[in-house]
Amino acid sequence: MSDFRFELLGCDGAARTGAIHTPRGDIRTPAFMPVGTAATVKAMLPQSVRDTGADILLGNTYHLMLRPGAERVARLGGLHKFMDWQRPILTDSGGFQVMSLASLRKITEEGVRFQSHIDGHAEFLSPERAMEIQRLLGSDIQMVLDECPALPAEKPVIEKSLAMSMRWAKRSKDAFGQQTDEEKVGRACFGIVQGGTYADLRQRSATELMEIGFDGYAVGGLAVGEGQQAMFETLDATAPHLPADRPRYLMGVGKPDDIVGAVLRGIDMFDCVLPTRSGRNGQAFTRTGALNLKNARFAEDTAPLDPACACPACRQFSRAYLHHTVKSGEIIAAMLLTWHNLTYYQDLMGQLRGAITEGRLESFVAGFRRAYAAPES
Amino acid sequence: MSDFRFELLGCDGAARTGAIHTPRGDIRTPAFMPVGTAATVKAMLPQSVRDTGADILLGNTYHLMLRPGAERVARLGGLHKFMDWQRPILTDSGGFQVMSLASLRKITEEGVRFQSHIDGHAEFLSPERAMEIQRLLGSDIQMVLDECPALPAEKPVIEKSLAMSMRWAKRSKDAFGQQTDEEKVGRACFGIVQGGTYADLRQRSATELMEIGFDGYAVGGLAVGEGQQAMFETLDATAPHLPADRPRYLMGVGKPDDIVGAVLRGIDMFDCVLPTRSGRNGQAFTRTGALNLKNARFAEDTAPLDPACACPACRQFSRAYLHHTVKSGEIIAAMLLTWHNLTYYQDLMGQLRGAITEGRLESFVAGFRRAYAAPES
């Protein structure tokens, strides 16, 4: 029934480039998904997000279920119409945010009871409810509900959590399978590999998910404090066990060099609040590293933020202007730096796709690392 | 030397329509100037401000002298380049904000000593310094420094303040006259009529300013608590005494019906923070009155904010979406509602210009008042 389809177009070592075909448009991979938490990519209009090169957005089930509510979004015609984004949307299952934001959490085999961080309202999220919410939102790629234990954790803790996450994955897939055929057309359900930093648990998790069978496979529970080295080692132990003909998504990652390292290890999809959140905090990613625009040394710097960037912040304004507006707490600073950071991330993804296609990923990565880590001029 | 020129194109009763020609472009009058306080119209990119129909912006001398500083803006190439607005800019003299924002004010004949509300730094503003700052910013229309007493006030208080404001106006004009010829090309200096709500003082002020001679005449010290009726009466007592061949600017006004009433009385230029500030507070101006988007009755309202408006907020989003993003404190709510409100104001100015040109202002105003005051459907 589904016309959701991953097409692998090229490889360079373990790295892959391809396209995910969906009824709402293609997603070029490796892909970076800007985070549209509460039905908006913060400080951006939807057309501007598209102009940066984004093919797909991520929406947060946790935030949307609390406000404005999944049933309300459905009555208003679905998330795409509500937020004026007609291209694909991936929604997480809400599990990660419940663990990090909600209070009075009580996790049982059935699901998670918690209180809304907005108004203290009692809420419940189960695998079935997580899929129902994502169906109501009209999500194109729906994620199974999983538990995300904080790292580092003892192996028995991770193992017990993993076992429940795998049972929840099966229940999520079953619930997705019960969506009506019309709803399901072109929609995908992704499983999430857990297992902390334990290679054998990650492998077991991958195997069990493949037995259930998903349209794509995410790697979850990373970038939660384990460090880049441990994250890369975990990817090395996981990615080779995932099917080559399905997209692989590393959840919540990350810094530009995290993404480059993960692409080298065969990851196809990413999301992270870093470019948007940093933009609101006066931080900019550039080809020569990250800049803090609050710094007084930019007060009379007439240079553009990143001369190689074509975004409005770089084309129309000086670093001095960005410094002034950041220091003054002006909304335009958040608008311009978010736009720039998202452009930087999408440019990086485009460069990675090009380098993989042309078989020159190694030299691209070497150049990226030299420039990105260079002391600032 | 100056190619700043006001062209009167039509009248309808006391109302006027025309064009102010400047080297940076024409300003169609009656004109509304969005307020770009600290080198940004809050929550808007410059091109978006232009897209609403704005021909000219207002910049605040007080804010800019404190941060980033007038000398710094000059070193960076002037305010137009700094904030990427190539059309005309009018700057106030800083006097009004010193009175309303700064602490430890001490007013003498020489000028005003005060402390910055940002960092407590000791500052000084005199007529000469106010003009120097406006010259450094590169302002196209520079305002004299005046004193703005709070209303209501006893007549002797207003009279004493007015006398000093007139002496300051002369000093301001002299300082403007000493700007080099190159700097002055196409730049204008406006006087400011003071006198509270006393018709004879307003008339005296107008006469004294005309003796000095200015490129335009502002009406200051209104919209500070005197009420619309008193404001209109003051305009009735003032505008007829101003020269017909110079633009007339009512400072800091106002609500849509204030503007309509002032245009009927012969005013050509306006500025006000209301559309931008309201936009950041979830308030929208529409053809049928003002709406508070926080109101729960909009939670599932799929209608556009104002069906007659062509701005992105009205074309692409529902009232329900605006309600959700206002309630969630999302930046996009400030962006969309500011854009809408500025569009509403510019549309209103365009309708007023058209009605004056075509001699149908009376019927336009009657329709405006009926619709604007109508109980909401």
Rounded mean pLDDT of A312-330?
98
3-state secondary structure of B148: coil
Residue of chain B minimizing CA distance to A312: B45
CA distance A200 to A234: 10
pLDDT value of residue B374: 66
Which residue in A92, A146, A215, A347 is the catalytic one? A92
Provide the edge-to-edge strand list for the sheet that holds A103-107.
A103-107, A112-115, A122-125
Q: Is B332's CB within 8 Å of A76's CB?
A: no
Percent over 70 (pLDDT), chain A: 98
3-state secondary structure of A303: coil
Using the predicted structure, report yes or no on whether residue A104 has a pLDDT greater than 90.
no
pTM score over 0.90:
yes
Q: Judge if ipTM > 0.95.
A: yes
Give B318's contacts in chain A (Cβ within 8 Å). Answer: 76, 82
Rounded mean pLDDT of A286-298?
95
Q: Does A76 touch chain B (CB under 8 A)?
A: yes
Confidence of residue A377 (pLDDT cuts 50, 70, 90): very low
Give B68's contacts in chain A (Cβ within 8 Å). Answer: 299, 320, 324
3-state secondary structure of A286: strand
- The encoded tokens of residue A227 equal 């460090």
CA distance A111 to B329: 30
Q: What are phi and psi of A94, to 5 degrees?
A: 95, -15
Burial label for A26, CB within 10 Å (0-12, 13-18, 19+), is: middle
Distances (CA, A) of B131 to A69, B90, B128, B174, B187: 55, 12, 5, 10, 12
A221 residue type, one letter: G
3-state secondary structure of B19: strand
Interface of A with B in 286-345 (CB under 8 A): 299-300, 302, 312, 316-318, 320-321, 324-325, 327-328, 330-332, 334-336
Closest-CA residue to B346 (of B292, B307, B310): B310
Confidence of residue A347 (pLDDT cuts 50, 70, 90): very high
Rounded mean pLDDT of A101-112?
91
Percent over 90 (pLDDT), chain A: 90
Residue of chain B minimizing CA distance to A318: B82
pLDDT value of residue A181: 79
Which residues of B belong to the active site? 92, 271
Say which of B280, B320, B328 has its CB closest to residue A38: B328
Confidence of residue A100 (pLDDT cuts 50, 70, 90): confident
State how far residue B135 is from chain A, nearest Cα, in angstroms.
Answer: 19
Using the predicted structure, report yes or no on whether residue A65 has a pLDDT greater than 90.
yes
A176 residue type, one letter: F
Interface with A, mutate which of B305, B316, B332, B337 (most A CBs under 10 A): B332
Number of Cβ pairs closer than 8 Å across A and B?
102
pLDDT digits (tens, 9 = 90+) for A225-236: 889 999 999 999
Total residue length of chain B: 377
Please report, in tens digits, the pLDDT of each residue of chain B (377 residues total). Answer: 458 999 999 999 999 999 999 999 999 999 999 999 999 999 999 999 999 999 999 999 999 999 999 999 999 999 999 999 999 999 999 989 998 888 889 999 999 999 999 999 999 999 999 999 999 999 999 999 999 888 788 999 999 999 999 999 999 999 999 988 788 889 999 999 999 999 999 999 999 999 999 999 999 999 888 899 999 999 999 999 999 999 999 999 999 999 999 999 999 999 999 999 999 999 999 998 999 999 999 999 999 999 999 999 999 999 999 999 999 999 999 999 999 999 999 999 999 999 999 999 999 999 999 998 766 54
Give B336's contacts in chain A (Cβ within 8 Å). Answer: 45
3-state secondary structure of B242: coil
Q: DSSP letter for B156, please.
A: H
Distances (CA, A) of B194 to B139, B162, B164, B166, B206: 23, 6, 10, 9, 8
Burial label for A376, CB within 10 Å (0-12, 13-18, 19+), is: exposed
Sort strands B31-33 and B269-271 into parallel, antiparallel or unpaired: parallel
Give B75's contacts in chain A (Cβ within 8 Å). Answer: 300
Give B57's contacts in chain A (Cβ within 8 Å). Answer: none
- The encoded tokens of residue B345 equal 């104001």
Q: What are phi and psi of A269, to 5 degrees?
A: -140, 145
Using the predicted structure, report yes or no on whether residue A374 has a pLDDT greater than 70.
no
State how far residue B328 is from chain A, nearest Cα, in angstroms.
Answer: 8
Alpha helices in B102-198 (DSSP H): 127-137, 155-177, 181-184
B180 residue type, one letter: T
- The encoded tokens of residue B312 equal 């992105």
DSSP symbols for A3-65: --EEEEEEEETTEEEEEEE-TT--EEESEEE-B-TTSS-TT--HHHHHHTT-S-EEE-HHHHH
Q: Does A274 touch chain B (CB under 8 A)?
A: no
CA distance A223 to A244: 23
Residue of chain B minimizing CA distance to A75: B300
Torsion angle, alpha carbons of A49, A51, A54, A60, to 10 = 10
pLDDT digits (tens, 9 = 90+) for A137-193: 999 999 999 998 887 889 999 999 999 999 999 999 999 999 887 888 899 999 999
pLDDT value of residue B46: 98
CA distance B35 to B59: 6
Using the predicted structure, report yes or no on whether residue A212 has a pLDDT greater than 60.
yes
Say which of A43, A320, A331 has its CB closest to residue B76: A320
- Structural domains in chain B, sorted by start: 5-272 (3.20.20.105), 279-372 (no CATH)
Q: What are phi and psi of A234, to 5 degrees?
A: -65, -40
